[in-house]
Amino acid sequence: SRSRPCKVDAVSAKLQAVRGMNDVLPEEAALWRAFQALVEDWLERWGYRAIRMPLVENTTLFRRAIGEATDIVEKEMYSWRDELNAEELTLRPEGTASCVRAAIEHNLLYDGPKRLWYGGPMYRHERPQRGRYREFYQYGAEALGYAGPDVDAELIVMCARLWPELGLNGIRLELNSIGSAAERALHRAELIRHLQANEAQLDADARRRLQSNPLRVLDSKNPAVQEVAAKAPLLASYLGEASRAHFDGLKKLLAAAGVEFTINPRLVRGLDYYNLTVFEWISDALGAQGTVCGGGRYDGLFAQLGGKPASGAGFAMGCERLVALIKDSGNAPVARQPDAYVLHQGEGTLEYAFSVADALRAAGHPVVLHAGGGGFKSQMKKADASGAWVALIVGEDELRANQISAKPLRKAGEQQRIGRGRLVAEFAATLNRARS
């Protein structure tokens, strides 16, 4: 059996996050929030509507949708048996399968095609490295029920418009058409024939894969195998008229929208549900894990999951990779700083400070109320460190006079008194001066 002693069993062991699963600490979480707000707004602006699916699905869903012979299904899924219900379950490794399952289950296409988006964590038991994690976040968009190359173009053009909104450049587009299942079968047979005819030049690895996964042989790093691969028949020459027309339609729309691309005849993607269009957006600034977004068309998936046949196309982008690029770009947004930090010292001043902070928050200001005691001097250090624009000081003096002292923190300026009765208006004026 595969059972090994659990690493964290020792009572004294210092607990750490699971390998490949990240904490996002507050400073970076601010960047994530800004990123998520922008991306979600962008998806809605393009007419996509949110859908939320569970993180856990029946294992069968992914086996059927993604394909038995893929890396994900063969070795990367977090699967287990739920003995209570006798169910085989899996943490979702991607969102397309769940999204199509939900569309079938709730008959979402009954009144016509739908544009949907989702976001959230995905789980793959990969070898962690920079840009590759075991828990990672995706945003996905799926256009369900549209057969033409127009939505393929829409999905690609919308990404092209997002990158500059995120302040990113240098993300390039690779495009391919992998045709229909029948066209791929034809090509595959020819490919195997070609590899067999040159078997003497293949290494053991390539010979082993020759039947099971001939396309993989084309990715070999061995120069002798590469020589054979270079002369292998190309899938593109096996595409029929309909597939070619679809691809031409897409390329025309991309050209009209001014979106540049390179055709990569080797681009096949790692999931089995694709047909016709496949594409990837790649940044060279991320090292080995440079694909920030991938997608394509999956016209067979509805029927494969037991639904009425329907077209589908979509993409998903890796949030960690995009956030890393934004961070490196130097235009990362920062967390909103508090407008005020409220200090207090003396009999009855805490209650007073509470009511001051409360009134300002009700007026929409982010306010931090000092907690934990200490003298004015140490409280002022905390106020400075908080990044607040204004320190509001409440001592016994201020309490007696029904006033508050206000001091700008981020530029030179006199301390002034504000009347408690006109707190909101006078604080707004003080804040304006402190920020200008």
Residues interacting with ligand HAM, by CB under 6 A?
Answer: 94-96, 124, 126, 131-133, 136, 138, 140, 142, 270-271, 291-296, 314-318, 320-321
CA nearest neighbour of 133 among 141, 123, 142, 143: 123
Question: In terms of CB distance, is 317 or 367 closer to ligand HAM?
Answer: 317
Give the type of residue at 6. Answer: C
3-state secondary structure of 132: strand
Q: How far is CA 20 from CA 131, 133, 135, in A?
A: 10, 5, 6
Backbone phi, psi, residue 80, to 5°: -155, 165
Q: Smallest distance, Å, CB 191 to ligand HAM?
A: 23
Whether the Cβ atoms of residue 35 and residue 319 lie closer than 8 Å to each other: yes
Question: In terms of CB distance, is 53 or 332 closer to ligand HAM?
Answer: 53
CA dihedral sign of residues 326, 331, 333, 334: positive
Q: Smallest distance, Å, CB 147 to ligand HAM?
A: 15
Question: In terms of CB distance, is 55 or 429 closer to ligand HAM?
Answer: 55
Q: Smallest distance, Å, CB 291 to ligand HAM?
A: 4
Question: In terms of CB distance, is 295 or 408 closer to ligand HAM?
Answer: 295
- The tokens describing 74, both together, are 């063969």
Beta-strand relationship, 114-123 and 49-50: parallel
Beta-strand relationship, 416-419 and 403-408: antiparallel
Q: Smallest distance, Å, CB 188 to ligand HAM?
A: 22
Separation CA 129–CA 110 (nearest Å): 43
Whether the Cβ atoms of residue 53 and residue 65 lie closer than 8 Å to each other: no
Question: In terms of CB distance, is 133 or 352 closer to ligand HAM?
Answer: 133
Q: Smallest distance, Å, CB 164 to ligand HAM?
A: 19
In the bound state, the residue with its beta carbon closest to ligand HAM is: 318
- The tokens describing 301, both together, are 């998936």
Q: Smallest distance, Å, CB 273 to ligand HAM?
A: 8
Question: In terms of CB distance, is 309 or 348 closer to ligand HAM?
Answer: 309
Give the CA radius of gyration of the chain. Answer: 29
Question: In terms of CB distance, is 138 or 379 closer to ligand HAM?
Answer: 138
Q: Smallest distance, Å, CB 3 to ligand HAM?
A: 26
Separation CA 372–CA 343 (nearest Å): 11
